């Protein structure tokens, strides 16, 4: 392995490590010390912690549930999760375990991060979590949780991934109301965190529900297209174009790809052809095979007595 590749790998895992600690900081230093919860897998784990009066800390149920989800997903879907996902789950668990014991970082009275205005706590947590998760996604990782659940739901039922994420978040927040010491106000704080997280992550990495449209100009378009179809199992369209200045015919690759796959593809294109020209456009509405289902409201006609 070249020195450049080694340094890049070290940099990526270093960034993932820092991002996991930022993610853990949002929960262990803002949300949990103030008895708050939100959506996603961590929201569910905090509810488990509150329901058991701290007997089962959130970080323990977090790694246990994620391990179970990965096993179920592999058995049900045959999908393989990269090492980065497993690494991020483990590091996030370690980070939360450490941060839970560092009380001087908790947002409670008498400490530096204490915030008197309660409504600001889920806002700060949402921003912090979005930064952490955004960096994780940018470097090709994942913290698991509802990402895995949404993928399994989308495979067996015609539900868009965006809808699956929204439904799972609302269900988790609703569970908080079943705890005797929690009120509707506590659920509202969770909704605030979810909304802030969704808004900020768009600025960090384009959003977990976003996709990208790429146009790649390269003399090595065949190698790039083969990687996309053979390794990434994505489609690619070859367009015939002509450079108006040179009057030379060129081949252009048109690619639609999910946000999580973009870091991998950009690295591959750079390795195959460092001189490649690439135009990237974010898009939030991509419908068809491999993306969201088309919702056209088509009515089905029943046949009666041989006539439609």
- The pLDDT tens digits for 39-76 are 888 889 999 999 998 899 998 999 898 888 777 766 66
Give the confidence band of 125 by pLDDT, cuts at 50, 70, 90.
very high
Nearest Cα to Cα of residue 236 among 220, 213, 259, 218: 213
Rounded distance, CA 38 to CA 187, Å? 8
Whether residue 241 is predicted with pLDDT greater than 50 in this model: the reply is yes
User: Count of CB atoms within 10 A of residue 268's CB?
Assistant: 16
Rounded distance, CA 17 to CA 141, Å? 11
Rounded distance, CA 142 to CA 70, Å? 12
Q: Which residue has the higher pLDDT, 42 or 83?
A: 42
In this structure, the strands spanning 211-217 and 249-258 are antiparallel
User: Count of CB atoms within 10 A of residue 64's CB?
Assistant: 14
Choose the most confident range, by mean pLDDT, from 127-136, 148-157, 252-261: 127-136
What is the overall mean pLDDT for the chain? Answer: 81
Q: What is the pLDDT of residue 192?
A: 93
């Amino acid at each position: 392995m070249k020195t450049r590749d080694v340094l890049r790998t070290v940099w990526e895992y270093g960034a993932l490590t820092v991002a996991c600690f930022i993610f853990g900081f949002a929960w262990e230093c803002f949300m949990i010390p103030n008895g708050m919860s939100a959506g996603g897998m961590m929201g569910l784990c905090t509810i488990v912690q509150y329901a058991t009066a701290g007997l089962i800390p959130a970080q323990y149920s977090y790694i246990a549930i994620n391990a179970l989800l990965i096993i179920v997903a592999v058995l049900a879907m045959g999908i393989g999760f990269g090492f980065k996902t497993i690494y991020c789950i483990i590091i996030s668990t370690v980070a939360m375990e450490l941060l839970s014991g560092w009380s001087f970082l908790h947002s409670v009275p008498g400490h530096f991060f204490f915030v008197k205005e309660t409504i600001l706590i889920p806002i700060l947590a949402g921003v912090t979590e979005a930064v952490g998760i955004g960096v994780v996604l940018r470097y090709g990782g994942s913290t698991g949780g509802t990402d895995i659940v949404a993928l399994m739901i989308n495979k067996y039922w015609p539900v868009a991934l965006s809808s699956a994420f929204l439904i799972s978040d609302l269900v988790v927040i609703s569970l908080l109301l079943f705890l005797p010491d929690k009120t509707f106000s506590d659920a509202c704080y969770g909704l605030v965190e979810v909304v802030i997280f969704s808004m900020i992550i768009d600025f960090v990495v384009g959003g977990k529900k976003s996709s990208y449209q790429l146009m790649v100009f390269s003399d090595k378009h065949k190698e790039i297209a083969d990687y996309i179809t053979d390794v990434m199992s994505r489609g690619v369209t070859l367009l015939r174009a002509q450079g108006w200045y040179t009057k030379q015919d060129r081949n252009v690759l048109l690619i639609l790809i999910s946000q999580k796959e973009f870091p991998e593809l950009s690295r591959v294109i750079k390795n195959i052809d460092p001189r490649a020209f690439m135009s990237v456009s974010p898009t939030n509405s991509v419908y068809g095979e491999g993306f969201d289902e088309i919702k056209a409201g088509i009515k089905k006609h029943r046949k009666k007595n041989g006539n439609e």
